[in-house]
Amino acid sequence: MTTANDTGPAADGAEDQDHEHSDGAGDTDTRLDRLESAVDQIKAAVDRLLPGSRGEAQQRTEDRLDRPTDVQTAVRAELERRDRVAAEQAAADKDKAEREDLRTQVARLSEQPPAPPVPRRTRMLGWGE
């Protein structure tokens, strides 16, 4: 049999206090500790699965963003090709001009046939000068 003390307001108050204590600060701290440990376990698993830290990931992203795009690469390559072709053309024109100058000089320096000898009488009389 139950007595009035067991089912009375005092018993209900004690039960409410136990219920409040179980939902109170002690239970919240325990629950928070469990959640923090679960988060730490998840973080450790993610760190094992994904290489590098957040800083390394950020550096990889910055490096990827800093490298030239396909358009920039194509434009730079085309400009370099244009400059190289222009330099080759200038060198070829310079060589051609030098060869023409050399041909002209060689033609002037080639052996000329000897002039016909001045007759002695012309020289003696002074007419040939």
Helices and strands (H, E) in the chain, number of each type: 6, 0
Tally of structural domains, the chain: 2
* Cα–Cα separations (whole angstroms), residue 17 to 12, 24, 26, 46: 9, 10, 13, 42
Q: How far apart are CA 71 and CA 85, in angstroms?
A: 21
* 59 and 30 share one domain: yes
Q: 61 is written with which tokens?
A: 């992203």
- So what's the pLDDT on residue 80? 95
In a domain, 59, yes or no: yes
* 50 and 78 share one domain: no
* Cα–Cα separations (whole angstroms), residue 123 to 113, 120, 129: 21, 5, 8
Helices 9-23 and 25-49 cross at an angle (nearest 10°) of 20
* 44 and 76 share one domain: no
pLDDT in tens, 39-64: 999 988 887 777 666 667 777 788 87
Higher pLDDT: 128 or 125? It is 125
Average pLDDT of span 19-31: 70
- For residue 82, give its domain range: 69-107
pLDDT in tens, 97-124: 999 999 999 888 877 788 888 888 887 7
In a domain, 20, yes or no: no
In a domain, 113, yes or no: no
- So what's the pLDDT on residue 51? 64
- So what's the pLDDT on residue 39? 93
* 63 and 30 share one domain: yes
In a domain, 122, yes or no: no
